[in-house]
Amino acid sequence: MKSIPVSTTINGDACEFLCAPDETLLDALRNRLGLTGAKEGCGTGDCGACSVTLNGRLVCSCLVLGVEAEGAEITTIEGMADGDELHPLQRHFIDHAALQCGVCTPGILVAAKALLEKNPEPSDEEVRYWLAGNLCRCTGYDKIIRAVQAAAAEMRGA
Amino acid sequence: MSLDEYRKREFKQVGQRVRRPDGVDKVTGRAMYGADATAPGMLVGRILRSPHAHARIRGIDTSAAEALKGVKAVLTGADLPAQEDDFIRDVQDNCMARDKALYDGHAVAAVAAVDAATARAALKLIKVDYEVLPHVTDVDVAIKPGAPVVQKGRSLENVPAGMSENVTSHCEFGHGDPAAGFARADHVVERHFRTAATHQGYIEPHAALASVTSDGKAELWCCTQGQFFVRTLCAAIMGMEASQLRVTASEIGGGFGGKTTVFIEPVALALSRKAGRPVKIVMTRDEVFRATGPTVHTSTDVKIGMTKDGRITAAEAHLRYSGGAFPCGTVDMGAQAAFAAYDLEHVRTYGWNVLTNRPKEAAYRAPGAPQSIYAVESVVDELCQHFGLDPIDVRLKNAARKGTKSSYGPTFPDIGLIATLEAAKKHPHYSAPLQPGQGRGISCGFWFNFGGNSCVSLNINTDGTVGVTEGNPDIGGSRASISLMAAEELGIEYDRVRTIVADTSSLGYNDVTDGSRVTFAVGLATIKAAREAVRVMCGRAAKIWGIDAEAVEWKDGAAVPAGPNAGKFPPMSLAEIAAVSFETGGPIAGHHEVNVDGAGVSFGVHIVDVEVDKETGQTTVLRYTVFQDAGKAVHPSYVEGQMQGGAVQGIGWALNEEYIYGADGRLQNPGFLDYRVPVASDLPMIDTVILEIPNPGHPYGVRGVGETGIVPPLAAISNAVSRSAGIRLSELPMSPPRVLKALGG
């Protein structure tokens, strides 16, 4: 299969890469661009560890083809902090011990940020349903929910 | 008094909820996990797996794969050496089948190619000539004479004659005369239970990057709970000297016991040696489910006698565990743990391990204990219901305490079970009103906790900061806990200490991160390494002051004269001593190497409220509280995290998770869609209450906390279901179809 050139924007920077027609966006990010923050936990869209946003929409990058990134705006975990200033979600995840092994954390942070952009004041239940596609095997989710709510409160200025 | 022993003290650093040192890397995507590393000229490795549950391999034709352009190496079991040692041979055979494929998913060949597409194409060109054999995947079928035999000649001498050759070992624990005890009971309940195999379900699939060079040296990067044990296994399989193989543990994306052995690591090394280039293998989720360690699946009979006022007169359990296609000792731990929470005059447990055509069991959080304690705690609860007694009162009446001769032999020192039960009893959750249709259950849980080989180096830097080098991968915040203990002992602030996890060439041997051993055992070695550094620093201060080293002591992070007779000198801080260390004798370090004994057992009690939907059979967990003895919680947030995470894995086990095999012996649900681990929307908050009953075997009183939490949920939820729906299930998971069936639907 012949590789296809793709022009896209990743975390605000223009970016070009070549990828095979059947190659996932996740593989392109990880293997061609060195953006290994998104993880492959299942490859079938069940675990959410590969979450990124594509034109503002939360997606599992293992279910998106690399060629679909043509002309799109992609954000990944690597683009969440503003330089050395952590995003409130990132800070509260550390402060609330909302990660143990940390491998699901990039996907959960990307998903939680997408939630708070749509709904700045979610109920615990709304957070739980929004994050139902992001598996965490270490924490039992308790501290994750608390960290998301603490970040949401800070972002609202509450 | 030995320095190992607990001494009461006021803590300044230990007990603080500090930020973990690897936190920023892990929230920014910078942390490097198993699959995140690359090497120049790296090849992609892929593994061909058996589609049959049991088949003789008559031959493997790899010629077409080898001829494919871009394929650089092909490997089969014939490329690996014959092994004398049973244990090593089993590990090797599990990584790559020799003459038989023993389960669906068993590796039979591997390739290394220039890219993934070529590697996948090459696997399709490998022709395996299988003679399909009869298979057995159920423990109760496999134990019967006449069942298909998974491996011949593996039974130990203690297996009674007349059993199937699949029975590989037998164990027995206990004391007293159960028959006499049962005769004194007012009521005896005997029940049969079964539990499904579950998977650890770590989100990160196994990954390994191996590089073997033509001079015989090798580098291995992999996600593991123990890089030193990986080196031991891989060196044996590769016929290498340990010094020539450097293993570096990546950040690890969950393990729970499942990353305490090797699966792909020797394969990657062997492919790299053959190809002369680095080789990376990353498992798919399907491979993780089919070919890495699930738990044992079990069949158990438990019999308990009780007087009408709630005293247990005798207890007995027969445990049949299957750890898949290879001999497995997990039943011994299940048999020892079964009645650990009880002070019993007459108790006996019997265990059998049985081979089946399933993947080789790997440890999973308190291996063996959840299954046996589920059965025991279910029967105790049924007896409470029979007599109308309060379940916590009955447990308090029979609870193991200091001086109890445990059901598995040792006499308990200070343990926290009674305090834990009392905390549960007086907690508002236990007395909160329930709505109609809701049920509340409780269960005790137990884990032994391990100590083991530990080796720590602690370097005092000239700017007054401290580097700690330890050898156990950090799965849940252990670098923070180790730094806290070093800071405490040295009398400096936490943020002056940085702890790193070393590769196998940089430090002496460390046992695997398992058995909840790291905060306890590596913590103990860290405290002693710090004491050694303090001794050196006191000596340097003595030299500067021109007094005897014995006349100097360490107080609040500084050397001070030990008393008025020692002389009058202002305190000299760690930073001040470090700054002049080059003039007083050279760099300052402390280190400690030890095989740690004295791990303190940990008990927990869980309370859960559930509601069973009688139309769908679905059980909803409404409220959950975990009580657990941590000895001393070094970092309380991560202790809570262990309690919460363990509870939720137990909830998954109780309600949904199971390995489902078809009549063809193939695993039917090797993916997260059909093997359903708990998701955020399934759960309430998991409340926690940490008890601190100091472990006499640790200077700060620390006990392991990682494993006990997975034990109680199985019975606690079953007991709650019985009170919610009026049905007592005896098989896990209590999935909706099984609940509906029990309801007569």
A43 in contact with B, Cβ within 8 Å:
yes
| % of chain A at pLDDT higher than 70 | 99
* Residue B90 CA: distances (Å) to CA of B262, B328, B359: 11, 10, 12
**A47-95 confidence digits (pLDDT tens):** 999 999 999 999 999 999 999 999 999 999 999 999 999 999 999 999 9
Select from A100, A128, A129, A135 the residue whose CB has the most chain B CBs within 10 Å, as the one to mutate to test that interface.
A100
Looking at CA atoms only, how far is residue B349 from chain A in angstroms? 32
- As given in the structure block, the two tokens for residue B41 are 């000229």
Interface of A with B in 52-111 (CB under 8 A): 76-78, 80-81, 86, 90, 93-97, 99-106, 109
CA separation for the pair B632, B520 (Å, rounded): 10
DSSP summary character for residue B19: P
The full length of chain B comes to 745
Task: With beta carbons under 8 A apart, name residues in chain B contacting A47.
Answer: 203, 285, 672
Checking if the pLDDT of A1 tops 90, the result is no
Confidence check: pLDDT of B523 > 70:
yes
CATH architecture of the domain A88-156 equals: Orthogonal Bundle (1.10)
**pLDDT in the model for residue B5:** 78
Name the residue of chain A whose CA is nearest to B636's CA.
A97
Instruction: Please name the amino acid found at residue B624.
Output: Y
> Which residues of chain A lie closer than 8 angstroms to B285, CB-CB?
41-44, 46-47
Residue range(s) of every CATH 3.30.365.10 domain in chain B: 23-31+451-596, 418-442+600-745
CB contact under 8 A, B686 and A140: yes
Mean pLDDT over each residue of chain B, to the nearest integer: 97
Dump pLDDT digits (tens) for B356-407.
Answer: 999 999 999 999 999 999 999 999 999 999 999 999 999 999 999 999 999 9
pLDDT in tens, B715-727: 999 999 999 999 9
CATH number of B23-31+451-596: 3.30.365.10
pLDDT at residue number B637: 98
- Would you call A18 an interface residue with chain B, using a CB distance cutoff of 8 Å? no
Q: What is the mean pLDDT of chain A?
A: 97
Phi and psi based region of residue A39 (left: phi greater than 0; alpha: psi -120 to 50; beta: remaining): beta
B206 contacts in chain A (CB < 8 Å): none
CA nearest B517: which of B648, B707, B645? B707
> By the 8 A CB rule, do B741 and B660 touch?
no
Which regions of B383-521 does DSSP assign to beta strands (E)?
Answer: 438-447, 452-460, 466-470, 497-501
Contact A100 B641 (CB under 8 A): yes
Helix (H) or strand (E) segment spanning residue B478: helix B478-490
Interface-testing mutation among A18, A138, A139, A149, with chain B (most B C-beta atoms within 10 A):
A138
How far B24 CA sits from the closest chain A CA (Å)? 7
CATH architecture for residues B34-134+200-291: Alpha-Beta Complex (3.90)
Predicted pLDDT at B342:
98
Check pLDDT > 80 for residue B745. no
Reply yes or no on whether the pLDDT at B499 is more than 90: yes
Task: Dump pLDDT digits (tens) for B639-656.
Answer: 999 999 999 999 999 999
| Residue B538 confidence (pLDDT) | 98
Question: Is pLDDT above 80 for B166?
Answer: yes
- Tell whether B281 lies on the interface with A, counting CB pairs under 8 A: no
When pLDDT is averaged across residues B716-744 and rounded to a whole number, the result is 97
Residue indicated by tokens 């299988």: B130
CB B497 within 8 A of CB B459: no
Contact A86 B251 (CB under 8 A): no
Contact call for residues B441 and B383 (beta carbons, < 8 A): no
Q: What is the pLDDT of residue B80?
A: 97
What confidence tier does B7 reach under pLDDT thresholds 50, 70, 90? confident
User: Looking at the predicted complex, does its ipTM rise above 0.90?
Assistant: yes
Residues of B in contact with A80 (CB under 8 A): 27-28
Average of per-residue pLDDT across B472-491: 97
Average pLDDT, integer, range B268-272: 98
- The per-residue pLDDT for range B29-45, each reduced to its tens digit, is 999 999 999 999 999 99
Peptide bond between residue A122 and the one before it cis (omega within 30 degrees of 0): no
A151 touches chain B (CB under 8 A): no
- What is the residue extent of each domain of chain A? 4-79, 88-156
Write out the DSSP string of B60-97: EE-HHHHHSTTEEEEEEGGGSPP-SSHHHHHHHHHHS-
Distance from CA of B4 to the nearest CA of A (A): 29
In sequence order, what are the residues at sequence separation of 6 or more whose Cβ sits closer than 8 angstroms to the Cβ of residue B250? B32, B33, B34, B36, B37, B207, B221, B222, B223
- Give the count of alpha carbons within 13 A of B532, CB side only: 16
Evaluate the CA torsion angle B723, B729, B730, B731 in order and state its sign.
Answer: negative
pLDDT tens by residue, B224-266: 999 999 999 999 999 999 999 999 999 999 999 999 999 999 9
For B676-691, the pLDDT digits (tens) are: 999 999 999 999 999 9
Q: Across the interface, which of A99, A124, A132 has its CB nearest the CB of B26? A: A99
B202 touching A (Cβ < 8 Å): yes
Question: What phi and psi values does residue A51 have, to the nearest 5 degrees?
Answer: -60, 130
Q: What's the average model confidence in pLDDT over A28-32?
A: 97
Name the residue among A42, A131, A142 with its Cβ closest to that of B672.
A42
At B271-281, the pLDDT tens digits run 999 999 999 99
The closest CB to that of B285, out of A44, A80, A94, belongs to: A44
At B1 the pLDDT is 41
- CATH superfamily of this structure's domain A4-79: Beta-grasp domain (3.10.20.30)
Asked if residues B483 and B468 have their Cβ atoms less than 8 Å apart, the reply is yes
- Label residue A155 by pLDDT band (50, 70, 90): very high
Residue B19: pLDDT above 80?
yes
The hierarchical CATH code for the domain B418-442+600-745 is 3.30.365.10
The residue among B27, B286, B288, B675 with the most chain A CBs within 10 A of its CB, best to mutate, is B27
Task: Spell out which residues of chain B touch residue A135, defining contact as CB-CB under 8 Å.
Answer: 201, 203, 672, 677, 679
Instruction: Decide whether A4-79 matches A88-156 in CATH topology.
Output: no
Measured distance CA(B235)–CA(B527) in Å, rounded = 32
Q: For residue B643, how far is the Cα from the chain centroid?
A: 14
- Residue B161 clears pLDDT 90, i.e. is over it: no
What pLDDT, in 10s, does the model give residues B297-344? 999 999 999 999 999 999 999 999 999 999 999 999 999 999 999 999
